[in-house]
Structure formats: structure tokens, C-alpha cells
Amino acid sequence: MAQGHIIPFLALALHLESKLRRHPNLTITFLNTPLNIARLRSSLPPSAALRLVELPFCPSDHGLPPDADNTDALPYPLVVRLLHASTSLRGPFRDLLLGLVAGGRKPLCVISDIFFGWTATVCRELGIFHAVFSGASGFGLACYYSLWVNLPHRKKPDSIEFSLPDFQEGSPVHVSQLPLTILEADGTDPWSLFQASNLSAWADSNGILFNTVAEFDSVGLSYFRQKLGVDVWAAGPVLLSAKSRRSTTPSRPDGTSPEQCIAWLDKKPPKSVLYVSFGSMNTITTPHMMELATALESSGRDFIWVVRPPVGHDINAEFDAGVWLPEGFERRTAGRGLLVERWAPQAEILAHGAVGAFLTHCGWNSVLEALSNGVPLLGWPMAAEQFFNARLLEGAEVGACLEVARGRSGEVRAEVLREKIETLMGETERGRGMRRRAREAREAIQTAMRDDDAATRGSSVRALDEFIGAAMSRRAESR
Ligand code: UDP
């Protein structure tokens, strides 16, 4: 029920739909809440194989704003309330499955989000094969999971590094890499209570399907194999095409259109533009915006910056350059900087040859979209598993990222940001190395997704075939 989850799920549904075409009796049902389904229904082309079904959900019954079927306009502190509210879907979900079973159409498999552990319990009860689908990296999710199941972490002194629970060797993290929700969790707060029941229900699932690539994300995958003893399939990246992507997000008739963004990029030299975006939910503080703007201006580089209202402002607030940005910033950077309000056509931007680097919060979808295009990263992780994604990306496995800042509240200095932009994009040895590693990651992704003939099928294609095979053999056994 957040764009970073709906987008990979829709990508997976469409990918499976095309893969399963040779099985004409199979259909895919995409379940979500009414507002999200209505949006998809009005924009996705009708398909006999992909059914869109809504489960009843009324945000105001749970003390949420009326349009909180997703997190698009939800202040971050209310996200946990939406998560608790989502457990109310359990009854209608079970009824839907029971109806299918009674009609002789028992589902082959249910694939559900990492936040809907209760679906695994319902499926186990009804004897239906179930997989958790993670749009997060294997490593990121392993760290995140391990921290939640080993609470509390409050007493950690903030100046030292400590080992992640369950990862005793070679994985020290700094306290500033702990998401605030985890750092503050004491086992009785709303996040702790939600995760305690959510994560324990994963044990009822048959396995975890990851939108990642085994070749550069193996540690986290092994963690789940060992820790939960379940099957793990790395079948990514499945990415949503630009056309389908427009169906998931609200259009903004007043803002910069996708066509304007691309036309702007068309005029720029290859690999010259820095793209800046912190995903669909995160924002930075006003002082951070000032530092970032100063760094972008002094870097002398071309940039596209997707601007969202800073922390503390209404998430729906009108763009206010006078308050959020240094005086005269827009005028001084006119022509070489494009400010896009709130939402940009990110997949198209990252696929454009003019983009040379991406300053990102390290959300895993953003990372996959960048690496699929060989775009190196400047990391500014802010929440959830993003800190661990940044570490995976900086480390030997990927090596295509330079962390520039950490968290929503830490100190950020324009001069340091400018230097790091120059290190990655300029003619430095380190920058050349990271750019090369980003191209290698693109090659690894292309190899993993190769699906031409049986002898050269890539690891991700094989994993998805194995996953489908596991679901089918389970059905055959239960007949
Ligand atoms: N996205 C986009 N335009 C924007 C911001 C985000 O298209 O201006 C898309 C982005 O391409 C990605 C998703 O929204 O597919 C964000 O997911 P991610 O995992 O990167 O971060 P999250 O938003 O979940 O923190």
C-alpha cells in the first residue's frame, strides 16, 4: 500500500502474466484496497489473465485520513497506523480464498507483501502454497528482520559500531544506521507490536521471493534459508515499464510533465546529469535542503531534483522555493537544474543516457532501476532497510555507491556533499572505479535475466521457474 511496494508487485504480476501465457487456464488476481485498485483499473489495459480485485477498506474507520489507502499523502508517523489497519483485511481475504476453493478454483499460490504476514497463516490453514515477496534486497531485509527479532537496541552507545545480531562476523553497523523506528522500539510500541506478529507469521509461508539478483546479494538470501529454513528465490529485477508505471501514480496536471523531463534531458550531454530523488515517502529537513541546494549549485553540474515538502511541512503543501531553498537558487541554476515537484518519471529518467549519477535514499526499487541502467549511486539512506542497502552497495559485492549522508537528522554539509558529487562524477580514480562497478552490475543483471535458451538461462529466470515449479508440484501432491 505504498508506491515502493505496489510498483514491484504490479511488475511481478505483469511479468508472471507474460510468463504464464502458455498455461491458458491460469489467471493472476491482483488484490489491493479500493482506491489503489480504482486507479489501476482506470489506466491498465484490460486483460483476461490479470484480474484486479479490491478488498473492503475504509481508512477513516482506523483514524486515518480519507485517502490513506496508500502512503502517497500519509505523514510518516501515520504509516504504522496504516499497517495495523491493514490487518483488518484478513477476514475479507480469507472469505475470498474460501469462495475460490468452494468454486473449484483453489489458488495455485498466494504471493503477499512483507507486511502482510497474516496472509501466510490464512494460506497454511487453507492448504494454499504461499510466498512472501520482498521488494527489498536480501541483505537489507535480513538486517531489518534480525534487528526486529532481537529487540531492544536502545542502550547501544551512539559512538561505537556493534555487530548485527545473527551476523556476528564482519558486519558491524553504527548506531546511526539503525532506523529510528527500531532504535526507539521497546517491544510495547506500535511498530514493535506490529512486527512481532507480522514477522513471526512468516514461518507459516513456504518461502520468500526476492526482487534481487543472487550474484550480488547472496548473504541476505542465505540468512533466510538458514534462519527460517524456507525456500528463497532471487528472481529480480522485475521492473515496471514506463507505460504501466503511470497507472500506479496520481497524475499532476500542474507539475512538470514526464515529456518535459525527457525533453530537458535530450538536450544534455551523455552522463552529465545528477538525478536527485528520495523516493515516494521520505523527505529531508529544510536545513538539509539548503545544504543540498548549495552543493548542487557549487558543483556546477546539471541536475534534476525531485522536491518534496521538507520534514515538518504538510506533505501536500504547495512547492515553496522561497522557504525551502536558498534565495535566488532557481534563478542562478536556471538551465542547468530542473526542479520537479514531488513525482518524476524516474524509470525513464534513469534509462536516459544523459544521466550520470543518482543521489538516492537507497530504496531498493530505486537502486534496481539505477543499476539496471549502469547508473552509479550517491547514497543518503533515511529509514527502514535503506541503511543496509547502502552498505551492500558500498561494499565489495556491488561497489557502485558512495554514501554522502545518513538519516533525517544527522549533520549534512554542502561542502562535503559537493566533494562527494565530484568524487563520483568527476575524473577521479574512485569515481571511475564506481562507475565501472555500476556497469558491471548492469551486466550481472542482464545475465541473471537472460531467457533465450535453456543452456544460458540466467539465475533470476531459473529461480522464478523453480518457484512456479514448487507451487505446481505442491498442487499436484495435494490432489
Ligand atoms: N518513483 C517515481 N518517481 C518519483 C519517486 C519515486 O517513479 O518521483 C518510484 C521509483 O521509480 C520507485 C518507487 O517509486 O519505483 C520508489 O520505491 P523505492 O523502493 O525506491 O523507495 P520508497 O518510495 O519505497 O521509499
pLDDT confidence tier of residue 176, bands split at 50, 70 and 90? confident
Ligand 1 center–CA 101 separation, angstroms: 36
pLDDT on residue 214: 97
Q: Residue 177 has what DSSP assignment?
A: G
pLDDT confidence tier of residue 157, bands split at 50, 70 and 90? low
Question: In whole angstroms, what is the distance from residue 41 CA to residue 232 CA?
Answer: 32
Ligand 1 center–CA 205 separation, angstroms: 27
**Selection from 130, 115, 111 nearest residue 385 by Cα:** 115
Cell reading at 287: 536545513
Q: Which atom of ligand 1 is nearest to the CA of 367?
A: 20
Cβ of 296 less than 6 Å from ligand 1: no
Alpha helices in 79-126 (DSSP H): 79-86, 90-102, 118-126
Ligand 1, atom 18: closest residue by C-alpha: 363
- Lowest pLDDT segment from 68-77, 82-91, 328-337, 358-367: 68-77
- Arithmetic mean of pLDDT, 436-460: 95
pLDDT beyond 80 at 164: no
- Arithmetic mean of pLDDT, 221-249: 87
The full 3-state SS of 299-368, as one line of letters, equals HCCEEEEEECCCCCCCCCCCCCHHHHCCCCHHHHCCCCEEEEECCCCHHHHHHCCCEEEEEECCCHHHHH
Ligand 1 center–CA 280 separation, angstroms: 5
- Give the SS3 label for residue 171: coil
Cβ of 3 less than 6 Å from ligand 1: yes
pLDDT confidence tier of residue 273, bands split at 50, 70 and 90? very high
Question: Is 304 within 8 Å of 348 (Cβ atoms)?
Answer: no
- Arithmetic mean of pLDDT, 102-113: 96
How many Cα atoms are found within 13 Å in the side-chain-facing hemisphere of 84? 15
- Arithmetic mean of pLDDT, 62-89: 93
- Arithmetic mean of pLDDT, 262-289: 96
**Predicted ipTM of the assembly:** 0.99
Ligand 1 center–CA 98 separation, angstroms: 35
| Mutational test site, ligand 1, from 245, 257, 280, 382, max ligand atoms within 8 Å of CB | 280
Cell reading at 97: 480464498
Which pTM value belongs to this model?
Answer: 0.95
Which carries the bigger pLDDT value, residue 257 or residue 304? 304
pLDDT confidence tier of residue 75, bands split at 50, 70 and 90? confident
| Mutational test site, ligand 1, from 346, 362, 373, max ligand atoms within 8 Å of CB | 346
pLDDT digits (tens, 9 = 90+) for 299-352: 999 999 999 999 988 888 888 888 899 999 999 999 999 999 989 999 999 999
Ligand 1 center–CA 369 separation, angstroms: 9
Cell reading at 376: 552509479
pLDDT on residue 247: 62
pLDDT confidence tier of residue 144, bands split at 50, 70 and 90? very high
Element (H, E) at 453: none
- Arithmetic mean of pLDDT, 33-50: 88
Cell reading at 96: 475470498
pLDDT on residue 170: 61
Task: Name the residue with cell 520482498.
Answer: 134
Question: In whole angstroms, what is the distance from residue 189 CA to residue 227 CA?
Answer: 25
| Mutational test site, ligand 1, from 1, 3, 278, max ligand atoms within 8 Å of CB | 3
pLDDT on residue 402: 98
Question: In whole angstroms, what is the distance from residue 126 CA to residue 231 CA?
Answer: 20
Cβ of 293 less than 6 Å from ligand 1: no
Cβ of 68 less than 6 Å from ligand 1: no
Cell reading at 137: 534486497
Q: Which atom of ligand 1 is nearest to the CA of 362?
A: 20
Q: Which atom of ligand 1 is nearest to the CA of 347?
A: 11
Q: What percent of the chain has pLDDT over 70?
A: 96
